[in-house]
Amino acid sequence: MTPHILTRSLDRAATTFILIVAGLGVLIPLSNLLMPQGSMFQVPTYLVALWGKYVCYAILALSIDLIWGYCGILSLGHGAFFALGGYAMGMYLMRQIGSRGVYGNPVLPDFMVFLNWDKLPWYWYGFDKFWFAALMVLLVPGLLAFCFGWLAFRSRVTGVYLSIITQAMTYALLLGFFRNDFGFGGNNGLTDFKDILGFNVQADGTRCALFLLSCLALVIAFLICRAVVTSKLGKVLIAIRDAESRTRFLGYRVETYKLFVFTLSACMAGVAGALYVPQVGIINPSEFAPANSIEAVIWVAVGGRGTLVGAALGAVVVNYAKTFFTSGPLAPYWLFMLGALFILVTLLLPKGIVGTFNAWWEPWKARRSAGIAADEESAAREDGIGAPNPAE
Amino acid sequence: MNVMDTRATSAMLYLDGVHVSFDGFHAINNLSLALEPGEMRAIIGPNGAGKTTMMDIITGKTKPDEGTVLFDGSVDLTRLDETRIAELGIGRKFQKPTVFESQTVQDNLLLALNVDHSVRGTLFWRGSKGESERIDKVLETIRLTDARNRLAGSLSHGQKQWLEIGMLLAQDPKVLLVDEPVAGMTDVETHLTAELLKQINKNHTIMVVEHDMTFVRELGVKVTCLHEGSVLAEGSIDQVSSNERVVEVYLGR
Amino acid sequence: MLTQLTHDIATMTRRRALAAAAGLVMGLAASSPLSPAQAADDTIKVGVLHSLSGTMAISETTLKDTILFLIDEQNKKGGVLGKKLEAVVVDPASNWPLFAEKARELITKDKVAVVFGCWTSVSRKSVLPVFKELNNILFYPVQYEGEESERNVFYTGAAPNQQAIPAVDYLMKEEKVKRWVLAGTDYVYPRTTNKILEAYLKSKGVAQDDIMINYTPFGHSDWQTIVADIKKFGSAGKKTAVVSTINGDANVPFYKELGNQGIKATDIPVVAFSVGEEELAGIDTKPLLGHLAAWNYFQSIKTPENEKFIKEWQAYTKNPKRVTNDPMEAHVIGFNMWVKAVEKVKSTDPDKVIDALPGTEAPNLTGGISKMLPNHHITKPVFIGEIKGNGQFDVVWKTPGLVAGDAWSKELDGSKDLIGDWVEKKCGNYNVKTNKCGGQGS
Amino acid sequence: MLLSCFALPALAGPFEDSVAKFANDEFSDTEAAVGEVASSGNPLASPIISALQDGRLSADPGSKKVFITRTDGKIVDAASGAAVDKLPDGAAAVRLNNRLRRTVEAALGGLTLLSPDPAKRLAAAQSVFKSHEENLLPTVESALAKESSKAIKQAFAEARAAIILFKSDASDSDKLDAVSVVKARGDQEALALLTGLGGDQPPLVAKAAASAVASIQSNLAMWSMVQNAWYGLSLGSVLLLAAIGLAITFGVMGVINMAHGEMVMLGAYTTFVVQEVIRTRYPALFDYSLLIAVPLAFLVAGAIGVLIERSIIRFLYGRPLETLLATWGLSLVLQQAVRTAFGPTNREVGNPSWMSGAFDLGQITITYNRLWILCFTLAVFAILLAMLRYTALGLEMRAVTQNRRMAASMGIATSRVDALTFGLGSGIAGIAGVALSQIDNVSPNLGQSYIIDSFMVVVFGGVGNLWGTLVGAFTLGIANKFLEPVAGAVLGKIAILVLIILFIQKRPRGLFALKGRTVEA
């Protein structure tokens, strides 16, 4: 088994993945909007929203895989970045309600009215503008990740310790956002959104557009992750994952690398959260729950840690299972199945679905293909060492 | 000492009066040692003599409680971290061969090359002819040209040791700290390694920690014997091995 | 890398991937029910949206069973409009976004005619947009903070004026309470209720110094400091009472601490709005003798309707000790009202049923007849019960008649001019001062 | 007593009428009846009213007859004292509400001031202190004169002082004396009495009362620091108890056991089952239920721990993060299993009598359950420490964790040691569940509320160091309790979490981390 086959086949897998996501992003909305209601070929709106949610989860899973699968940073608090992105978007949507709230106050969201607040807290300023909110979607999670990472990586908090303080972080945020005094709607969070950029959030067209956007975001996130992991930086990340102090002794500033991917990953999670909120229609503190973050890590493990396609696939598979099992006669038993799934995957498929598939598929294919020598050359080119392309 | 000269010493690596203790255990005890530029020095000593801890101190992994550690006569290593020290030009091979197992041999060397190590530099990195030539050369030196596309994890123990030495070469430091390079090697491999180190010594300063006396003898360099965190004896291998105290320490009398 | 990508895209992978995507879409489309009309023919589907796992399962599982029981009983009587009722049970797993997802699934995929569900305010808020968008009916059975009246939601639990205010009145009159501790879990129901109570108490001449407000997080388990504070607050020489809006799970440790620190009901009575028979089943109630709860129903109320209901319920669940509680009664009333409305308009069409529901009457289990009001709340009696040693309540006071639920509190500045009226004004937040409907832009 | 019983019917009339009022099932009538009966001087008054207080007084609304069920189970007619075979069918216990309960207590206080039972006299004195009924003054004074016990005498003196303070025609000097007696008592009830005096007092008395209030308050403020420290210790003991099992599985073995909380939950449910069996079969043993539950919980949780280790965790050694995921899945399964088996609602676990109630130490209240939990925790900790140090298993355990290969080559069955270590950690979590069932909900969610806190404690204290866990737990507990009055429960907790995050930056391996190169290798 030569490694370049893996690399090349991943590339093929990557292309397939991008095409499938893009295809779904186009075909599902088309089917929903163009086909007649109730037709065999029409995807009902609730499925559009549902799959939109899965796609957002897939982006979150990608962001976790980037740091965990490639850099060995197990964050059990990534839900916090997701939720912060979601809150930033939620605040924008809240401001868009304007005077259509139940109390008809043109500026204050309903929950502030019934808490008798007389003016908007300063941190709500600016969220009436979409560009500001969009900026905050990236900035708030990014900044938190930067500060947190700067502290943690500089003092070399690693492994389990890091995982546990990320839990502490998301737990502290959970408690904070629960407080009504914080001005984010307490336990109820932000909900009852009306429109986004002037479009009704509940209209089929908006839902389809959001779905398309989510797919687009997934593709972009995927491409960014691919660009990162296939660059030399990706090799450094893997080096850090496998032998951190060795990397340090080679003269790499490990903390800077970790900080870079951690912040990048947090921004991606923030975007996922921001796309999630208008499709689900609510954002509240339970998104900060430590259990949510652990679950997201499990998606990655199920799909295949260290394979980007696997992470996205894992998110969709686990969540589809959740949707499927929480309805109907199986409902009382779904926690058994979910729990068993996690146990079985870690025991029997330690590489996850995609990782196991690769391990099984590649040798088989390698035996079939003959032109190994030619492949080796192309692999060397891909790795950028053998013959640098002057045209690039 | 000449105050006007910023170089406090002519030595490449200079340790003076270094102390380190862990929870009351004195790992390094008033250790003083100097390595001249271009020198190769073998360090021997029984288990727990403080050999690896000394390397930890030089490479910035452990901070000494007191004492002076100077590099190139003027740089105070006790104030710098591992990355900075590596950037200055001190390379290290670990006791247990530590290579990036899930990456190819070639990538291991690529990572070790002393080029731009910043995040930006690696993110927008493009290979150059010079780099690939250097890698080819190192591969040849460490006899792994045929294995360049194999995963480092699939190499044999001896090959991993060589790969790690190769990574040191690619890093091209001024000083190489080599911790037990021949542990677990066959006689032939040991011999080849000794040849390799001698070859490298032509333009690098080297400090080798090794138990294998045959190997040390083969290197034919000045030997320092550590015991309980300080220097017990220093001199040629014959001098040191005939030193009564050394014999006593080694045989436990 | 990108060049590599474009190269690959140009190869055969593209066609295969697109085919895969198209196949997926087809699969998705096909997974939706083929002919909804067929399902609607022989049965009427009733959605049950209560958490069966997660933190809220503790309260909501019983309500799921209640609806299954009611459907069973109704089917024994021949169903509704000659069709059998069929329950569709889903588990939103105490996960608020999942509530919205499941609601959508129930309405779109399963085509239910009505949904009985939710417990927490946040779950109701989460599903609200879904019910509005897809125009279906939700019966919400739990006492809540009010400040809401939606066309698609029927609130069969108590509004603050049907629980909190009468309880405070009772304490003022009967126990001569002069000093008040308002203790609650930090979420919207306690916040709003306490806001209303604070305004109400002040209007009755209680000084700010005599009111202590305290909020704790969900599942708070270490009550030592707070109970000590209450004790201290109560030692100011005036009769003190605690009005507790502490949420389910945190109550057990709270009451245990009260009992252990020796706070007896005769010294500082605690009146709770979220503690019913179900919660007490998990506590040794002997130290709690005399503490109070305000509800619209108690299991211990002796009426023929109630005794019959308890007997049948215990027979249905095959558990002779199974308790009943207030939200269950709310579901009973709501369910019967829905059946009546459906039979009246001879259709399960949500629009028709929504219009028919206001004015519909159904007997409650405490001997009265509850009526659905135009603001989609119902009339209910209010009872004050004292905890007995056996985990039941002894009713010590009740309102003379039924109290009409106010959607909008009269005690709050923001809402005192608002009313909900879906019959005449077709509006949930009609401002009687400006004569405008707030929700449709003022 | 017997004599008077026979004499009664002859006297009849008003007393009988008063007693009959109990049968009206109206609170106002019951209140009137209590007053009339209490002041009747009839020897049956005290038994009637104490029966009313205990819920042993029943009335038959049909015949208007009222009955006392005596503590020995015999039934007598309340009006006549005549013995009755059994209660009539329609009879139901006379109902009380809080206001009535207070009336009853006060009435009983007056009636039992001269009781031969010292405990009753003390209770009576205390109830008079609270009610300060003016017409009881003569009785209190005569009781005070007769009393021989010092403590009860003190209580009578305080009761007398309370009455005098509220007596409008008492002299200033009497009142000043009374103020100083109450001030000497110095607790919250004294404070309540003094602040409740009202503005119609003579200026001199008002001034003295005000200064007494101030002095009591400053004294109480000082005590509140002590109280916070005690609360902190008690919270710390709960944290320690929850974390100590984790300190073994996580700290010593390096297994991140997310199902640790569920082991605690299983321990709590074991307690429930034990109590249930005792309640139905051997009610007399109830006070020993916890003693029985402790070893059983250890065995149940421990056995399940061994099972988990053998079937799941042993395949995952060296992959700590995957263990985390698998045990998380396991925790879901265990929770749902318990939910299916025992139902989703809380289960009742009672407090044995020795764990109920509280005592006063100076001006702070110490509840027995918290005290016992603290003692219990320390005992578990000490036993565990001793076990690790002195037993063969402890030695093997340390050997395996320090150098697995070496231990194996020396003939230690490492896999057996792994299983037993994990079983030990789980068993201790089960024991923790027994204790936690006394202060928290016994529900399927029990474990989840402790898992994060437990990890924080272990990490804060330093992984692999039991003493670190001890110090960590108490530090966090006390810090939390001192922050809570200032910042509130939620902000206090957030502050603690942020402090832990910052602390880990400073000491990435906790309070008591092992130094040296072996740790990092």
By Cβ distance, the residue of C4, C21, C104 closest to A20 is C21
Interface of D with C in 210-239 (CB under 8 A): 220, 224, 227-228, 231, 234-235, 238
Residue A304 has pLDDT above 90, yes or no: no
Q: Which of A54-63, A198-207, D37-46 has the highest mean pLDDT?
A: A54-63
Contact A114/C414, CB-based, under 8 Å? yes
Lowest-pLDDT range of C306-310, C425-429, D334-338, D517-521 = D517-521
Name the domain count of chain C: 2
Strands B13-22 and B25-35: antiparallel
Using DSSP's 3-state secondary structure scheme, residue D146 falls into helix
By Cβ distance, the residue of A282, A327, A331 closest to C126 is A282
Which one is predicted more confidently, C252 or D516?
C252
Lowest-pLDDT range of A110-124, C5-19, C335-349, D379-393 = C5-19
Q: What angle do CA A44, A48, A53 make, to 5 degrees?
A: 145
The CA distance from D389 to D411, in Å, is: 20
- D185-211: b (≥16 Cβ within 10 Å) or e: bbbbbbbbbbbebeeebeeebbebbee
* D207 domain residue, yes or no: no
What is the pTM (predicted TM-score) of this model? Answer: 0.87
The CA distance from D282 to A378, in Å, is: 81
Could you give the count of Cα atoms lying within 13 Å of C357 in the half-sphere of its Cβ? 33
Q: What is the mean pLDDT of residues C238-247?
A: 90
C165 and C286 part of one domain: yes
Whether residue A203 lies within 8 A of chain B, CB to CB, comes out as: no
* Distance (Å) of CA A67 to CA A6, A224, A256, A268: 21, 13, 13, 11
Query: CB neighbours of D235 closer than 8 A, spacing ≥ 6?
Result: C222, C224, D477, D478, D480, D481
Q: Residue D88 has what pLDDT?
A: 82
Other beta carbons less than 10 A from residue A16's beta carbon: 20
The CA distance from A388 to D333, in Å, is: 54
- Read off the tokens for A376: 């080796």
User: Residue C114: what residue type?
Assistant: V
Whether residue A33 lies within 8 A of chain D, CB to CB, comes out as: no
* Distance (Å) of CA C231 to CA B148, C40, C181, C228: 77, 60, 10, 5
Q: Residue C14 has what pLDDT?
A: 58
Contact D508/A158, CB-based, under 8 Å? yes
**CB C328, CB C66: distance < 8 Å:** yes
Using DSSP's 3-state secondary structure scheme, residue A60 falls into helix
The CA distance from B166 to B147, in Å, is: 13
Distance from CA of B100 to the nearest CA of D (A): 16
D58 and D133 part of one domain: no
Q: Residue C33 has what pLDDT?
A: 43
**CB B142, CB B169: distance < 8 Å:** yes
A112-139: per-residue pLDDT in tens?
887 778 889 999 999 999 999 999 999 9
Cβ-Cβ contacts under 8 Å, D520 against chain B: 61
B119-152: per-residue pLDDT in tens?
888 888 877 888 889 999 999 888 888 888 889 9
Query: CB neighbours of D224 closer than 8 A, spacing ≥ 6?
Result: C228, D485
Q: Indicate the pLDDT class of residue C298, thresholds 50, 70 and 90.
A: very high
D514 and D382 part of one domain: yes
The single residue listed with the structure tokens 């008077």 is D4
**CB B67, CB B17: distance < 8 Å:** yes
Q: Which of A271, A261, A269 is nearest to A170 (CA)?
A: A269
Contact C224/D234, CB-based, under 8 Å? yes
Using DSSP's 3-state secondary structure scheme, residue B76 falls into strand
Rounded to 5 degrees, what are φ and ψ at B114? -85, 70
Residue C68 has pLDDT above 90, yes or no: yes
Query: CB neighbours of A353 closer than 8 A, spacing ≥ 6?
Result: A302, A303, A304, A310, A313, A314, A317
* D-chain residue closest to C269, CA distance: D98
Whether residue D304 lies within 8 A of chain C, CB to CB, comes out as: no
C344 and C283 part of one domain: no
**CB B138, CB B109: distance < 8 Å:** yes
Cβ-Cβ contacts under 8 Å, A247 against chain B: 111
Q: Residue D11 has what pLDDT?
A: 44
- Read off the tokens for A181: 């005094």
D239-297: per-residue pLDDT in tens?
999 899 898 888 777 788 889 999 999 999 999 999 999 988 888 888 899 999 999 99
C169 and C285 part of one domain: yes
**CB C253, CB D440: distance < 8 Å:** yes
User: Partners for B (CB, 8 Å, 3+ pairs)?
Assistant: A, D
**CB C215, CB C184: distance < 8 Å:** yes
By Cβ distance, the residue of B86, B102, B104 closest to A249 is B86
Query: CB neighbours of C27 closer than 8 A, spacing ≥ 6?
Result: none
The CA distance from C244 to C225, in Å, is: 16
Chains A and D touch (3+ CB pairs under 8 A): yes
Interface of A with D in 341-370 (CB under 8 A): 341-343, 345-347, 350
Whether residue D98 lies within 8 A of chain C, CB to CB, comes out as: yes
Q: Which of D72, D64, D79 is nearest to D15 (CA)?
A: D79
D141 and D274 part of one domain: no
The CA distance from D515 to D512, in Å, is: 9
Rounded to 5 degrees, what are φ and ψ at D300? -60, -55
D295 and D407 part of one domain: yes
Q: Residue A387 has what pLDDT?
A: 31
**Structural domain boundaries enclosing C369:** 36-158+309-380
By Cβ distance, the residue of A159, A165, A341 closest to D329 is A341
Whether residue C224 lies within 8 A of chain D, CB to CB, comes out as: yes
Q: Residue D47 has what pLDDT?
A: 83
Helix D137-146 / helix D150-166 crossing angle, nearest 10 deg = 160
Query: CB neighbours of B33 closer than 8 A, spacing ≥ 6?
Result: B13, B14, B15, B54, B224, B231
C56 and C75 part of one domain: yes
C39-55: per-residue pLDDT in tens?
446 899 999 999 988 77
* D211 domain residue, yes or no: no
Q: Which of B65, B73, B71, B84 is nearest to B26 (CA)?
A: B65
Q: What is the mean pLDDT of residues A286-302?
A: 91
The single residue listed with the structure tokens 């992750």 is A225
Whether residue D504 lies within 8 A of chain A, CB to CB, comes out as: yes
Q: Residue C27 has what pLDDT?
A: 65
C204 and C288 part of one domain: yes
The CA distance from C404 to C386, in Å, is: 24
A232-291: per-residue pLDDT in tens?
899 999 999 988 888 998 989 999 999 999 999 999 999 999 999 999 888 989 899 998
**CB B112, CB B170: distance < 8 Å:** yes
- A174-211: b (≥16 Cβ within 10 Å) or e: bbbbbbbebbbbbbbbbbbbbbbeeeebbebebbbbbb
Using DSSP's 3-state secondary structure scheme, residue C44 falls into strand
Q: Which of A39-48, B3-12, B168-177, D394-403 has the highest mean pLDDT?
A: B168-177
User: Partners for C (CB, 8 Å, 3+ pairs)?
Assistant: A, D
Q: What is the mean pLDDT of residues C371-377?
A: 95
The CA distance from A188 to D508, in Å, is: 36
Residue A383 has pLDDT above 50, yes or no: no
Cβ-Cβ contacts under 8 Å, A115 against chain C: 191, 195
Chains B and C touch (3+ CB pairs under 8 A): no
Whether residue A5 lies within 8 A of chain B, CB to CB, comes out as: no
C175 and C278 part of one domain: yes
- Read off the tokens for A373: 């020598």
Contact C187/A188, CB-based, under 8 Å? yes
Contact D444/C57, CB-based, under 8 Å? yes
B166-186: per-residue pLDDT in tens?
998 898 888 999 988 888 788
CATH of domain B99-206: 3.40.50.300
The CA distance from A258 to A247, in Å, is: 12
Q: Which CATH class is domain A3-372?
A: mainly alpha
**CB D45, CB D37: distance < 8 Å:** yes
Q: What is the mean pLDDT of residues A132-161?
A: 92
* B-chain residue closest to D521, CA distance: B96
Other beta carbons less than 10 A from residue C43's beta carbon: 16
Cβ-Cβ contacts under 8 Å, D236 against chain C: none
* A-chain residue closest to D259, CA distance: A339
* C416 domain residue, yes or no: no
* C142 domain residue, yes or no: yes
CATH of domain B1-88+221-253: 3.40.50.300
* D216 domain residue, yes or no: no
The CA distance from D333 to A334, in Å, is: 9
Q: How many Cβ pairs within 8 Å bridge chains C and D?
A: 151
Q: Indicate the pLDDT class of residue C28, thresholds 50, 70 and 90.
A: low
Name the domain count of chain D: 3
Whether residue A372 lies within 8 A of chain B, CB to CB, comes out as: no
- DSSP structure string for D240-307: HHHHHHHIIIIIIT----TTHHHHHHHHHHHHHHHHHHHHHH-GGGGGGHHHHHHHHHHHHHHHHHHH
Q: Indicate the pLDDT class of residue C26, thresholds 50, 70 and 90.
A: low
**CB D469, CB D239: distance < 8 Å:** no
Q: Which of B102, B28, B95, B90 is nearest to B63 (CA)?
A: B28
Backbone Cα Rg of chain C: 24
Cβ-Cβ contacts under 8 Å, D99 against chain C: 174-175
Q: Which of C12, C67, C96, C215 is best to mutate for the A interface (most A CBs within 10 A)?
A: C96
Contact A180/C441, CB-based, under 8 Å? no
- Read off the tokens for D189: 């009830």
**Structural domain boundaries enclosing D15:** 2-99
User: Residue D251: what residue type?
Assistant: G
Contact D517/B53, CB-based, under 8 Å? yes
Using DSSP's 3-state secondary structure scheme, residue C140 falls into strand
C62: domain CATH number?
A: 3.40.50.2300
D70 and D175 part of one domain: no
D153 and D125 part of one domain: yes
Contact D508/A160, CB-based, under 8 Å? no
D449: domain CATH number?
A: 1.10.3470
Could you give the count of Cα atoms lying within 13 Å of A383 in the half-sphere of its Cβ? 27
The CA distance from C234 to D191, in Å, is: 10
Whether residue D38 lies within 8 A of chain C, CB to CB, comes out as: no
Q: What is the mean pLDDT of residues B179-198?
A: 86
Residue C34 has pLDDT above 60, yes or no: no
- ipTM score of complex: 0.85
C238 and C387 part of one domain: yes
By Cβ distance, the residue of D238, D357, D442 closest to C260 is D357
Residue A147 has pLDDT above 80, yes or no: yes
All residue ranges of chain D with pLDDT < 70 are: 1-13, 199, 513-521
Q: Residue D344 has what pLDDT?
A: 81
Q: Indicate the pLDDT class of residue A59, thresholds 50, 70 and 90.
A: very high
Distance from CA of A330 to the nearest CA of D (A): 13
**Count of positions (residues) in chain A:** 392
Other beta carbons less than 10 A from residue C6's beta carbon: 10
Q: What is the mean pLDDT of residues B63-71?
A: 88
Tell me where in chain B the CATH 3.40.50.300 domain(s) lie.
Answer: 1-88+221-253, 99-206
The CA distance from D63 to B244, in Å, is: 115
**CB C162, CB C296: distance < 8 Å:** yes
**CB C87, CB C68: distance < 8 Å:** yes
The CA distance from C280 to A295, in Å, is: 33
Contact B112/A231, CB-based, under 8 Å? no
* C344 domain residue, yes or no: yes
D91 and D124 part of one domain: no
* C-chain residue closest to D350, CA distance: C284
